[in-house]
Structure formats: C-alpha cells, structure tokens
Amino acid sequence: MNVKKIKEVLSWPLVFLLFAMLTGCPGVEQTTDADEGVAKVRRSIILQYTRQGRLTPAVRESLMALTTSDELQDYAKQQDQAYLEQLPIDGRLCMEMLNEVVGIGPRFSGSGGMLKQQQMLDKYFSDLGGEVEYQRFKARNPISQQGVETVDMANMIIRWHPKRTRRILLCAHYDTRPFPDNDPDPEKRRGIFVGANDGGSGVAVLCALADKMEEFDSEYGVDMVLFDGEELVYDSSRDPFFLGSTHFAREYAAKLPRQKYVAGILLDMVADADLQIYQEVNSRRMAPRVVQQVWSTAKRIGVTELRPSARHEVRDDHLPLNEIAKIPTIDLIDFDYPSPQKRETYWHTTEDTADKCSAISMAHVGWVVWEWLQGLE
C-alpha cells in the first residue's frame, strides 16, 4: 500500500496526554528519579486505557494507589487479561496467529515462507469448517534479471455458509514486502522484513473472526479473501501494487457471479499497540455507507480507537475492489505506526515486529467487524 497525502487533524492523543498529565501525575510529591519512573509508567498505562476507552474510576483509583513500577505493570497485565476475557473476539487467538505467521519469517509472493503460510492457514480454516480455494495466476517478476520471468501467485479464498447468495467480503493481504526498504538505517534495507502489523495483523484478525463463523446467524454469507501480491515491490516508482486484488476484481467483474458481494472490509495494519484508525479518504469517497455503518458500530460498542475523522488517503487493495469489481469496500488501516505524535515509523522497516502489536487492538478491530456483520440488514 502507499500513501498519497497526509491530512493533519486535531490530535486526540495529545488531548489524552494532557488529560493524563493533568489527572494522572502525583504532582509536587514526585521528586526522586524512582518516583518519576513510577509516574511515567502510571501515565503511560492511564494514557493507553483512556485511548482504549476502559479507564473506569475504579481502575484509576487502583493505579493511583500502587507505588512501584512492578506493581503497576503486574496490575496492568492482570487487567488486560481480564479485559480480553470479556471481549467477543479472542485477542489471544489473534496474537497467537500473528506470532505463528511472523514466526515463518518473510512471506513475500512466490517465497517458501508464503507456501508455508498457505499450508498453515489452509489447515486452520479447514478445521473450522471453511471452504478453502485458491485463485492462482502468474505475475511478471519485478526482478526478472535474475532469470525467473514470472512469480506464482495465489489469492486464498475461504467461504463460510457458501449457500447464502448475498455475501460479505472480508479481506487482507497476506504477502509481505520483500525488503524493509523504508528502514532508517540504509544497511538494513536489504535485511529481513517479517511484516507483523503490515501483512500479519489482517490475517490474524480474520483467523479470530473465522472462529466465530459457525455461529454467524444471518442471511449473509462471508468470504474471506487473502490477497497475494499486494506489495511485491522492490521499487515503489516502478513495480505495480495490488496484483492479487486486481486479479480477483477482474475475475469477479468478468464472471458476474450469482453470488454477489454486498460490501467489503479490508484490514491492513490493525494491530498497532497504539491503535488509532482514522477514516481513510478513498473509503469515504467510494464506500461512504460502509464507513458510516462501521464507525457508528464502533461508537455503539465503545471502541474508541476508530476516530470519526479523516487523516490519510491510502492506495490499497480496496481500490481495485471498488473501481473494477464495484464492491463497496473500505480500508480499515492505522497508518500512524506507532503514533501520529511520533516522527519515526515502523512501516516497511525491520521494526515491524510482533512486540509492537497488541491483542487488545486486534480484538477491538475484530469486534467492530463482528458487530457490523451481525447488524447488517
């Protein structure tokens, strides 16, 4: 995916930070380095809980009463586990699946890692009762000077409730960028890129949603599609993006299938521990109804990480789906990785690793999608 322009908007995290500073500091009593360390840990927990919409007065009181960093961190860990228990989407399962795909290593199109990932996911989805199918095609190898002219591509399609004729498309790309070519350290730009958030997170959330599909009681069926070749890109100014989604959209448009997609959601970079998902500009333009439905769902259930304003215009797999296949599809993406307040980015760097990702973030995104599915009329 690439980003065309960035819109600066009112910075909510800054507001939260001010809030946390005003309300979360022990104030004048904080004198020693140790005290400051404890206050910093407390502030960051309060900030995170505020962002996640789960700072209750009781939790705040407990946090204020604890006096060491260890106590605060242990408390937060316990709170996180208890909170995850209550969510309808299993965040620990998300994290487990994310770790599993990241553990494979690089998974760029045509690689051994991609093949391993397909085998792993094939078994995972089949065991849950999904019908797995591959949409195979060949793409020109962008680095054909190495003697191999084409790359074998495969979109993976997993169907749930296949007899239902009105269908919903839930998708993500499952290939990873060949290299971390945006790394600030030039020496690392030909290093290893594992794509935890960019490549892993969408897959992980779909895995957790798959676990709910049996109980999805609706007139709608769901197809999950994992796109290959979203970024078989060695040179952003030369190599084409979205190979898998473009192929999928063309096939769909050419065949006019009996089973139609009513709407779609694309998940990309949804695991950031500092999750803040703004409405993506192209999604608002091309699929405004879906944007409106999804954001009002998030508001209703209290997932505050979905911010009701626009910030980035992102070119991603949803473009061919809207433009070629005419499936109104939005891109749920947190492009500020780690945060709008930070200049650095982990995007396409060696820093895009599982430790930057959060089970709660993924569970929240999955929960919004799950509620949206259930509310469809």
Binding site for Zn ion (CB under 5 A): 198, 231
- Of the candidates 312, 220, 292, the residue with the CA atom closest to the CA atom of residue 7: 312
Nearer to Zn ion, 168 or 233 (CB): 233
Answer yes or no: are the C-beta atoms of 210 and 125 closer than 8 Å. Answer: yes
Give min distance, CB of 337 to Zn ion, in A. Answer: 10
Q: Helices 91-104 and 359-375 meet at what angle, rounded to 10?
A: 120
Nearer to Zn ion, 80 or 183 (CB): 183
Nearer to Zn ion, 50 or 155 (CB): 155
User: What's CA 227's distance to the chain center, in Å?
Assistant: 14
Give min distance, CB of 6 to Zn ion, in A. Answer: 16
Nearer to Zn ion, 159 or 173 (CB): 173
Nearer to Zn ion, 91 or 200 (CB): 200
Give min distance, CB of 136 to Zn ion, in A. Answer: 22
Single-letter amino acid code for the residue at 341: Q
Single-letter amino acid code for the residue at 61: E
Answer yes or no: are the C-beta atoms of 157 and 212 closer than 8 Å. Answer: no
Give min distance, CB of 335 to Zn ion, in A. Answer: 10
Nearer to Zn ion, 198 or 305 (CB): 198
What DSSP string runs through 154-189?
EEEEEEESTT-SEEEEEEEE----SS-TT-SSGGGT
Maximum Cα–Cα distance across the chain: 71
Single-letter amino acid code for the residue at 217: D
Give min distance, CB of 229 to Zn ion, in A. Answer: 12
Give min distance, CB of 182 to Zn ion, in A. Answer: 9
Single-letter amino acid code for the residue at 366: G
Nearer to Zn ion, 305 or 352 (CB): 352
Give min distance, CB of 288 to Zn ion, in A. Answer: 25
Nearer to Zn ion, 228 or 231 (CB): 231
Nearer to Zn ion, 231 or 334 (CB): 231
In angstroms, the CA 150 to CA 244 distance is 14
**By Cβ distance, which residue is nearest to Zn ion?**
198
Give min distance, CB of 196 to Zn ion, in A. Answer: 11
Backbone angles phi, psi at 327, to 5 degrees: -100, 115
Place of tokens 């600030």: 184
User: What's CA 272's distance to the chain center, in Å?
Assistant: 8
Q: Report DSSP state, residue 29.
A: G
> Residues near 64 by Cβ (< 8 Å), separated by ≥ 6?
24, 26, 42
Q: Report DSSP state, residue 275.
A: -
Angle at 47 between CA 46 and CA 50, to 5 degrees: 85
Nearer to Zn ion, 295 or 335 (CB): 335
In angstroms, the CA 62 to CA 98 distance is 32
Peptide bond between residue 186 and the one before it cis (omega within 30 degrees of 0)? no
Give min distance, CB of 275 to Zn ion, in A. Answer: 17
Q: In what order do the strands lie in the sheet with 220-227?
A: 131-140, 150-160, 220-227, 166-173, 260-268, 329-333
Give min distance, CB of 86 to Zn ion, in A. Answer: 32
